[in-house]
Amino acid sequence: MFNGDRDATTRRRFFMTAASAAAPVLGRSSAEKIRIAVIGVHGRGRDHIAAFQGIHDVEVAALCDPDESVLRSRAAHFESRYGRKIDTETDLRRVLDRKDIDAVSIATPNHWHALAAIWACQAGKDVYVEKPGSHNIYEGRKLIEAAKKYNRIVQHGVQLRSSAALKEGVNLLRSGVIGDVYMARGLVYRWRPSIGKKADAAPPPELNYDLWLGPAAPRPFNPNIVHYNWHWRWAYGNGEIGNQGIHEADMCMWGLGLTTLPTHISASGGKFLWDDDKETPEVLSAAYHFASNKMIQMEIRPWATNSEEGVRVGNIFYGKDGYMVVKDYDEFQVFLGKGREPGPRRRAGGNHFANFIDAIRARDVTLQNGPVESAHASSALAHLANISYRLRRQLDFDPETERFKNDEEANALLTRDYRAPFVVPERV
């Protein structure tokens, strides 16, 4: 059923051998083609294909998805657009077996992100992984360990980090453009309608549902989970704060210069609008306090709502002398003093995928705009808020041990029960 008959021990042995063979970290010639496989091609994966195909001397060499109907459709579109046939696989393990694949780009559901990335590191592949980099806090730490152990470039898919404008904006925050910066807010006001209710059913024959479930516990197939609404189920997604919210959480951490997780977390919200199949909250307000005496607020609202300073998705940074508005992944505007006098402003984008390729060619993680450490930090903010929401109380957290203080109920939610052979191991 998994399109492969090796057991977990054999697979780990193969990955470690492959990684050992790939251990030398020599830079690549700018003329040497980098071959990439895109894993998960129903939604965001389509953008990955187009982005990598648009980079000089990068070739999308294979597409992978457990849904054969999605795979056929995407392969047909690829051939029509680029004038060549593309290899396809339903099982990502077969992709990782291939020695002609240099890197993978992961756009699967969230519950697969970290495991697929760790397996790729073990197989000697570099990794571009969509946000969030993990489905829980334990996975994020293991992803960092795997990237370092196997000397891999792991880029987190938060493209705002490659914006020329936002790099300038962060530098201005550092230089005191709005005075001492004490708080950042992440705003996510997306139009999210009801998803209704659907009964469990037999999975479609073209979907390898067992492989789609991967690390998650077995449950009957439901058409209201596959392909997008998994975002709103705890077993596979992380709600809106772990969807769009990762971009804004990452921007908050970056702008405030934070490299450690918070000490206190409080989140509340709920489902107020629809009686539907969503498990995650429609509305969520989260507050994080850091040992450095800084604060982050995250605000998630659906449906009909106001904007703030013209922002529906973005950030606001607050300082002693003014505030900075960030929106649209590539624009900032400063307002100063009591009169809100306009200050510096800029709009300019960047190419996050090209930045990943540059780091691969140089074998230099310092060139990355979205390094693996930021994947863990920004994703962890979503996970911490969700744990607080689910337990309905404030949480005290130790950033050093990455565990809650004297709270085993909360600590139990730092990881999950994995379904063999899809296990994020203690030793990567």
Q: Which domains are seen in the chain, by residue range? A: 8-160+353-371 (3.40.50.720), 163-197+209-349+380-406 (3.30.360.10)
pLDDT of residue 15: 43
The H-or-E segment that residue 110 falls in is helix 110-122
Give the Cα-Cα-Cα angle 354, 355, 361 (nearest 5 degrees).
Answer: 90
Query: What was the pLDDT predicted at 13?
Result: 37
Ranges of residues in the chain whose predicted pLDDT is under 50: 1-26, 29
Question: CA-CA distances (angstroms) from residue 18 to 60, 147, 174?
Answer: 21, 14, 42
d(C-alpha 35, C-alpha 375), whole Å: 23
* 236: enclosing H helix or E strand: none
pLDDT tens track for 158-175: 999 999 999 999 999 999
| Predicted local distance difference test score (pLDDT) of residue 413 | 98
Q: Which structure tokens are listed for 410? A: 């909360």
pLDDT at site 10: 37
Residue 398, SS3?
strand
> What global pTM score does this model have?
0.93
Q: pLDDT tens across 57-90, in order?
A: 999 999 999 999 999 999 999 999 999 999 999 9
Structure tokens at 134: 């993990």
Contact 8, 16 (CB under 8 A): no
- Strands 103-106 and 34-39 turn out to be parallel
pLDDT computed for residue 32 by the predictor: 87
The encoded tokens of residue 381 equal 């903010």
Cα separations in angstroms, 327 against 19, 163, 169, 317, 334? 40, 11, 12, 12, 12
In sequence order, the 6+-apart residues with CB closer than 8 A to the CB of 411 are 403, 404
